[in-house]
Structure 1
Amino acid sequence: MEDRKEGSEHEPKERKEPHNLIELLDTIEAIETPSGKLRFDAVLEATGRRSFGPLLLLAGLVTLAPVISGIPGVPSLMGFFTFLVCGQLLIGRRTFWLPAWLRNRELSSKKVHKGLGWMRKPSRLIDRLIQHRISFMTGTRGMQMTALACFVLSLAMPPMELVPLTVNIAGVALTLFGLAIMASDGLLSILAFLVTGASLFTMFYFLL
């Protein structure tokens, strides 16, 4: 009896996926980083690697946070990550495969926490505005439209690094899409499509 009780105490607790921005920030900040480096795979495990909404939200936050997105190559890396996730959703996969070199990428935990800290105040405001509405925009067909829009956005993110602020606007779009799916908030989805169009228009305007 004692052995059974003792064993149950050591069983891992069921992971709870985040449902809003603050929960996602708390989840990432709670990841232990004794080496001072935060591995991308650890973030995926903590936030839910099989859920489309949290994955888009994660990509959006990394791209949006000024301290993190300012690291050269990070926006393009998040673009590739979004490309893989959206591409697999469009072909009907239920679980998402990611290459080991992407999962093993590391960032300074100090920079990550600094970037997340900057986002806490706006995140609280955004979370208060989220509600369940216009649900058809986050249904099956809406998810497919979202995946297609994010797929196109992911292809544009590498050249966006050459145009100031456009990659951050793309981060806003990904964040809104992720939140819309997680909260079934169709209004956020509509806003995300508008922001996606604005980011693509700005990129083409300056590059062409």
Structure 2
Amino acid sequence: MSEHAKDSGLTGLLEELDREIVGDISLGSILEHFNSRGFGPLVVLPALLVLLPTGAIPGVPTTCALFIVLIAGQLLLGRRTPWLPKRLADFSFDHTRLTHGVQRVRPWTLRIDRLLKPRLRFMTQGFAYRAIAILAIALALTMVPLELVPFAAALPAVTLLLLGLGLIGEDGLVILLALLVMLADAAAGVWLVG
């Protein structure tokens, strides 16, 4: 893994977000700060916001989903500098909630960081990269109706988190794991409905 990828591990991303952005955390500030890092962090961070205590704030899962859809859509269109509408960019939440969440999950994120390493890189480049963007859009769109069911938006958020981590770590095995989680979620959904 490159030095840049190591510095951008899950723990590093969360701690940087907590440390570098002053005051309330807005989606616009996340985009501005992490835009140069590629698509991975821009999927990981909103997915984490849904999984952390911030995800319990009404509107956070839907807003994070819209963020991912817009960023992934612009990636597919070849736009180099993603853009957000002002209303979405201005959506923010209290910094204290993030700080508590980061402290709570740090032992787990450090373990995850140790598992990430470059392998099966073809799963993170070229056509696969664009396929991941399409998949991210589909998963994010499912978070919108799932917000109505308590904690249900966490299911696609976990898959999005894994996809983003796979891109950050150039780890195709994590991408495959994300696909397995997605299939398991879909099978569970079919079973519950049927």
TM-score, normalization by structure 1: 0.82
CA contact (8 A) 2:15 2:102 kept: no
Shift of 1:108: 0.8
Give the direction of change, closer, same or farther, for the CA distance of 1:88–1:207 in structure 2 (3 Å limit). farther
Which of the pair is proportionally richer in helix?
2
Equivalent residue for 2:79, pick from 75, 78, 93: 93
Of all paired residues, the percent bearing the same amino acid is 34
5+ long unaligned stretches in structure 2: none
Equivalent residue for 2:29, pick from 19, 42, 64: 42
Partner of 1:4: none
Partner of 1:68: 54
Is the partner of 2:20 in helix, strand or coil? coil
Partner of 1:183: 169
Is the partner of 2:153 in helix, strand or coil? helix
Larger radius of gyration: 1
5+ long unaligned stretches in structure 1: 1-15
For residues 151 and 178 of structure 1, what CA distance do their matches in structure 2 show?
13
Moved more, 40-49 or 146-155: 40-49
Q: How does 1:1-208 map to 2 (within 5 A)?
A: 18-33=7-22, 36-48=23-35, 51-65=38-52, 67-203=53-189
Shift of 1:159: 1.2
Give the direction of change, closer, same or farther, for the CA distance of 1:50–1:19 in structure 2 (3 Å limit). closer
Count of equivalent residues: 190
CA contact (8 A) 1:153 1:200 kept: no
For residues 66 and 130 of structure 2, what CA distance do their matches in structure 1 show?
18
For residues 204 and 157 of structure 1, what CA distance do their matches in structure 2 show?
17
CA contact (8 A) 2:35 2:81 kept: no
For residues 195 and 37 of structure 1, what CA distance do their matches in structure 2 show?
32
Shift of 1:124: 0.3
